[in-house]
Amino acid sequence: MATEKTEVVIVGAGAAGGIIAAELCKAGMKVIALERGPRLETKDFDPHDELRYFTRQDLRPNTKIHPVTWRPNANARAQRLNMLNNGAMVGGGTVHYGAVSWRFHEDDFRVRSSTIARYGEKAIPQDSSVIDWPVSYAELEPYYDRAEYEIGVSGKAGNLNGRKVEGGNIFEAPRKREFPLPPLQVDQSGLVFEQASKKLGYHPFSTPRAIISQPYKDRPGCTYCGFCQAFGCHVGAKSSILVTKLPEADATKNFKLITGATCYRVNTDNTVKATGVSYYGPGGADETIEADLVIVAPFIYDNVRLMLLSRTDRFPNGLANSSGHLGKHVMAQIGTRAFAIFDDRHINIYMGPSAQRHCIDDFNADNFDHKDLGFIRGAQINVSPADLQAGPIGAAMSMPPPPGTPRWGAAYRDFLARYYTRYAAVNAQTENLPYTDQTIDLDPNFKDMYGLPAPRMTYDWRRPNERARMDFIGKKVEEICNAMGASKVWRPPTNQGQPGAHHQGGARMSADPRDGVVNKYGQTWDIPNLFVVGSSAFPTSSGFNPTLTIQALAFMTADAIVHRYRQAPGPLV
């Protein structure tokens, strides 16, 4: 067993780990980052291959050798999830994601207190474990701004220092300055959605996205190729960590990246100090890194699994888990959608990136009155392809035909041939509340390629609050489709409780050590030199995609380490 020594070791070089690595290296700290997948380059994403990247999910984890399992409840046997949202390479999900890049609302950080203040405590589902975040929007705003400008985000402000701005999201939290780049060009689906939404009295705007609309920091602007969601960007216009922050880390000469590395334990001295990590390197070699500071930053399944695998006599239920909250309060955003087909016009939704499209925020968070609706929170509603990839294979796989049209054969062929350029999907991404029995633990029946137990998710979104929200939002989605002038509108059935996109929770942050695993900086309450960062730290979800919030928190964590922890190692309060 070989051993290396360094100042900082980071497990995972994605949205959070890549930012923290760059910032610590620029401050003069020596960093080694471990990544399970390879480090690809922009040239590796050309040519486009829909079968390889969309159908076979080449940039996502191979669930046959790195499985994640799911069951709806503790009495059911888990089954392997066939597709995961996270990335399987350096840069993580920021390489293949659609690059939607939202700031959360102010009340997304205080769901419990704001709900009680407006509707009373009885409005919160009795079995929900919802708590407020220990960090506020105002505290995080400078880091949102920093993330937008450092990586490159295109959009239009809707709230500049409290002043509402036409053309942007008037429901957004106040921002200090405009986006660094203007929005991407509007396509046909965006125009039709905008007209319909305004006719209904809603407030459409261009979705903010981490795709540069014009040249920025020596990178070319978007080419509108259409191969975005599930694909790496062939020109580097997508602001992935691969092309933004990791080159900064490289330039310092303080950074070492080890690929093909699966971390299986955070090592400790069985007191309250982490001493480094152990991992299986290329070829399966068992390796160790000793470090003064350990940062755990992969996707939530691997975050939680690693902490559970690292249990000790002092922490028998998982490392840094004296609170008992490790692996609990897991959330996923649940989608509902309606399809619209048109006989009198071409929509051509396959053209341009999926993140390019318009959306409304009128029914998200607490932007509308929930009194007597039977649920709290909401959803962001947008127009996009069926499954965020509008090539012919994507359309065939993810657009179920309307009732009365078969799913196979000549009639289906004729339907797809006629409507491939004449369809749109209006999607709602709904917030999911946390519940104590929504968990990640170790599956006794499924193992990874090294014989380690797979992470197992126990989760079922079909609760009264979530069902009522889905029904309400689903009707709004259909309403917009009809207002778009569609020839036919239909909604496919919802799934049977499986998790949706953007998984969050499992190592939540809290203001009180008894209520969570980490503080607002991602520092574990139990072990001051061990940080767990990323969406696993989220106490609540949002109708918005989580990546920009992950990145803002990563910048905040890096600042705290460089300017405070490094000078006086210990709890950050």
**Of 132, 93, 90, 86, whose CA–CA distance to 111 is shortest?**
132
Sorted by sequence, the CB contacts under 8 Å of residue 362 that are 6+ apart come out as 171, 202, 203, 368, 381
Confidence class for position 357, pLDDT limits 50, 70, 90: confident
Q: What is the mean pLDDT of residues 220-245?
A: 93
> pLDDT by residue (tens digit) across 107-129?
999 999 999 999 999 999 999 99
Q: 286: which 2 tokens? A: 């068992």
Does residue 232 contact residue 40 with C-beta atoms inside 8 Å? yes
User: Any idea which fold 2-565 has?
Assistant: FAD/NAD(P)-binding domain (3.50.50)
The end-to-end CA distance of the chain, in Å, is: 37
Q: What is the mean pLDDT of residues 491-509?
A: 90
Coil, strand or helix at 61: coil
Question: How far is 178 from 520, CA to CA, in rounded Å?
Answer: 27
Question: How far is 138 from 150, CA to CA, in rounded Å?
Answer: 19
What pLDDT, on a 0 to 100 scale, did the predictor assign at position 208? 96
User: In the beta sheet, which residues pair with residue 405?
Assistant: none
Question: How far is 88 from 542, CA to CA, in rounded Å?
Answer: 25
| HSE (side-chain half, CA atoms, 13 Å) at 436 | 10
> pLDDT by residue (tens digit) across 268-325?
997 899 999 999 998 889 999 999 999 999 999 999 999 999 999 999 999 999 999 9
Instruction: State yes or no: pLDDT of 342 exceeds 60.
Output: yes
CA distances from 357 to 56, 193, 281, 473 (A): 25, 9, 41, 19
Instruction: State yes or no: pLDDT of 512 exceeds 70.
Output: yes
**Max Cα distance, the chain (Å):** 71
Coil, strand or helix at 15: coil
Beta strands in 172-261 (DSSP E): 205-206, 255-259
> 7-16, 51-60, 83-92, 466-475: which range is least confident on average?
51-60
Q: What is the mean pLDDT of residues 363-387?
A: 91
Confidence class for position 1, pLDDT limits 50, 70, 90: low
CA distances from 276 to 310, 401, 506 (A): 11, 53, 22
| More reliable by pLDDT, 496 or 19 | 19
Confidence class for position 16, pLDDT limits 50, 70, 90: very high
Question: How far is 57 from 301, CA to CA, in rounded Å?
Answer: 18
What pLDDT, on a 0 to 100 scale, did the predictor assign at position 52? 82
**Cis previous bond, 47, omega within 30:** yes
> pLDDT by residue (tens digit) across 152-186?
999 999 999 999 999 999 999 999 999 999 999 98
* Full 3-state SS string of 413-433: HHHHHHHCCCEEEEEEEECCC
**CA 306 distance to own-chain centroid:** 19
In degrees, rounded to 5, the angle at the alpha carbon of residue 195 between the alpha carbons of residues 192 and 200 is: 125
| HSE (side-chain half, CA atoms, 13 Å) at 473 | 33
Supply the mean pLDDT for the chain: 94
Q: What is the mean pLDDT of residues 564-571?
A: 95
Instruction: State yes or no: pLDDT of 402 exceeds 80.
Output: yes
> pLDDT by residue (tens digit) across 530-540?
999 999 999 99
Describe the strand order of the beta sheet including 69-71 as a list of residue ranges: 79-80, 69-71, 453-458, 439-447
Does residue 455 contact residue 302 with C-beta atoms inside 8 Å? yes
> pLDDT by residue (tens digit) across 26-78?
999 999 999 999 999 999 998 888 878 777 778 888 899 999 999 999 999 99
Q: What is the dihedral of CA 376, 458, 54, 240, to 10 degrees?
A: 70
Total-model pTM = 0.96
Instruction: For the chain, give every domain's residue range.
Output: 2-565
Confidence class for position 389, pLDDT limits 50, 70, 90: low
Q: 472: which 2 tokens? A: 């309400």
Sorted by sequence, the CB contacts under 8 Å of residue 121 that are 6+ apart come out as none
Please give the positions annotated as active site: 502
What pLDDT, on a 0 to 100 scale, did the predictor assign at position 388? 59
What pLDDT, on a 0 to 100 scale, did the predictor assign at position 483? 97
Confidence class for position 395, pLDDT limits 50, 70, 90: confident
Q: 383: which 2 tokens? A: 């127009």
Instruction: State yes or no: pLDDT of 390 exceeds 70.
Output: no
Per residue in 37-72, is it b (16+ CB within 10 Å) or e — as a string?
Answer: beebebeebeebebeebbbebbbbbebeebbbbbbb
Name the region of 217 (left: φ>0; alpha: ψ -120 to 50; beta: rest): left
> pLDDT by residue (tens digit) across 515-566?
999 999 999 999 999 999 999 999 999 999 999 999 999 999 999 999 999 9
List phi, psi (to 5°) of 465: -65, -45
Question: How far is 148 from 154, CA to CA, in rounded Å?
Answer: 8
Length reported for the chain: 573
Confidence class for position 328, pLDDT limits 50, 70, 90: very high
